[in-house]
Structure 1
Amino acid sequence: MAVNPHSLRSQATRSPERILREIQSNLLECKVCFEIFNPAGQSERRPQNLPCGHVLCLDCIGALSHPVLKKLECPFCRQLCDVDSTSHCHALGDLQELLLNSKVGVPSYGAKALHVFGSLQLCSAFGGWGTLFNPTGIAVLGTSGTMVVVHDGDTRLVVFGPQGRRLHGFGRRGDICYPLDVAVTPNGHVVVTDAGDKSLKVFTSRGCHVLTLTDVFQLPWGVDVDMRGNILVSDSQTGILSRVTLDCVLGVILDHQTPITDLEHPRAVACCQVTGATAVVEHLLFDESHPTWNHRPARLRVYDQYFSLLYQKDSFSLSLGSTAWLCMSAVAFEGDGNVIIIDSKQAMIWKLHKGNKLTPLISENLVRPVGLICTAKDSTLTVLDSGDHAVKIYSFR
């Protein structure tokens, strides 16, 4: 049986310390409030088994359950559970006690904790199940640090303040069917790709509908705004990157062009506001007969401001200089023009220096990162983690 050498190298780099940290972030914290379980006595953070098999802390079970009916809907599988049928999760309690009493320390992790990964510090996290549901895209509103996130809630867009406080939401479930990505124009309008009705939708920052562009896309996916305020949209079905110019005040389309037409299932799109470059992540066809392809291959293409190809890298070429097979899923630009790559499958974030040198930025305490914001002004990296239904903010300082 053929063995994937990239998979072996990836497993070899998982040190005992890293495995312990992954156990803590994936098993020993409540995925609703992000607090560490405390199995002692009647603690409000004691891990409790739901009848469906999922585990929450005692406090979150109380907060989510009906005060009279004593029932709650599991936030993960939506099964209706009786509060009286919950039980203490002895396995997680014993595991936590074993790790805490071992000589190898497990660092604490939570929404208010501080960690250092190289030059990055995890400063805070917010959101969580109940506030965000399977989020898929994030963008920043102007220079204030206000963020907008698209997700699967009743209101498809949620606006957060710079400190993580939920300000408001808009875009009802019927008005936006299946949002995939979001971007913000220089004048503060919010742009959403909706795969449900194959459209591009524009709103004001307060949620007033401006316009909907239909009958143009077959599967609109990634969206971003270039340095001139034009909207770039990838169509994963047709392999086209569109450039749309809008007058958001009048609510009209001024121009629609297709500068790139030879892409293969393009997904994520990012524009550099300094150099004008555009990066696109393509999901290539998966050859199940290939003995080393245990993951779907992807390709990164980077173009200059005139859409001339600067360079391209696929999963195989990037993995040659790395210890892991990269599963590129999203992309962003740093202020200096370097590309940052999100690997949702391995829960890692990488930096690609000048199109050649690849270095890991974050490899811990992420579950399924799907989007990020690079803010050069205050040297922060904001990561949208769909696995935790949360926004996590890291600092380079």
Structure 2
Amino acid sequence: MTPARSRSTVAWVLLLGALATLPAFTVDTYLPSLPDVASDLDASPALAQLTISGMLIGGAVGQLVIGPLSDRYGRRLPVIIGLALHVVTSLLCAVVGSIEWLIVLRVLQGFFNAAAQIASIAVIRDKFTGSDAARILSRLMLVIGLAPLLAPTLGAAIAGVAGWRAVFVVLAVMGLVLGLVVLRWMPETLPVERRRTGGMRSVLGGYATLVKDRHFVALAVLPGLGMALLMSYVVGSPFVLQEGYGLSDGQFAALFAMNGIGLVVSAQVNASLVRRVAPIRILRVALVMQAGFAVVLLVVASTGAGGLVGLLAALWLTLSMQGLIPANASALALSRHGEMAGTAAAVIGAFQAGIAGVVSPLVGVLGGDAQAMATVMLAAVALSIVILAVATPAFRRGGWHSGAVGT
């Protein structure tokens, strides 16, 4: 790779990483304030958690609506509109007076944020293929990993000085700045001649093509179940660690950052591995290892063995494996339908947001303690293994060489 091309790739990773990180930042900066939101708006912990789950569900719907639009109108326009509406909903969240309206606004915020997430994935497919796409997606995970490193600390600091409502003002400013960056520096990557035409029938036909491909569906579901595992930790950890173990906002943010470091490290490892190991092989090993760590996590959470240190160690190991799973699964899925990358990215994103939005509230339903959190996390990774093994023979026999996906 020439120095000029290397610099160009780094610039793309940073820009797309900023877009992909927006939904995560919108969640993670808000996390330390979740107990305060519940108290201020007189809501139960389970209802307060719906402000996160609702955003995920809104994101799932947004993916399905905006994805085909990005294949028809290009990548830039949907992103610019989505970021503008992110700014509006963030400001409204800052002045909301009830938990019900906050949930509604978070659903809308998730819907509009979907435009940024779709663009980050679709642009990669526009510019890269095969193992190169998996490598770039892994680099993207490094940038996304900054969200859990920085966002909770930033959110805790803002809330500590000006209250939880100020967090949404900062999110609005971030959306505005990112929108200006896109306007100035993000070129269109989907030429007019490659854009899909047609109305609703064409859109539905594209989704039908994807859904009929069981290998694509299995691979697309994996990031969704991975996000469900991650969000089960995200929505459960403030109550488990802050209320259950008495950690302060600052201590919680520091521990949250440690888990973010695990994601960054594993994503860096994956970026190196995909140069010489087939993505499907990495998936097989990573999923089995994650399942083993999740079993340990459940045992520790159920018995109290090792105390807080044991719980945090098992959490770190379980979460760190995420850097090896979604990037490879997404790259393999996208490689099957490059001609409609926006729609394919929308399905992957919808599974991520939708499955996580449905599954993560189960932590609160099951009691909101460490055992409930660990149970949902283990169920997510176990289901990932079952779905991939049943739907894709290549998972069982070790097929699918780097950059190629077959039956």
For the criterion TM > 0.5, the same-fold answer is no
Q: TM-score, normalised by structure 2?
A: 0.27
Higher relative contact order (CA 8 A, sep 6+): 2
Q: Which has the larger radius of gyration?
A: 1
Per the normalisation by structure 1, the TM-score is 0.27
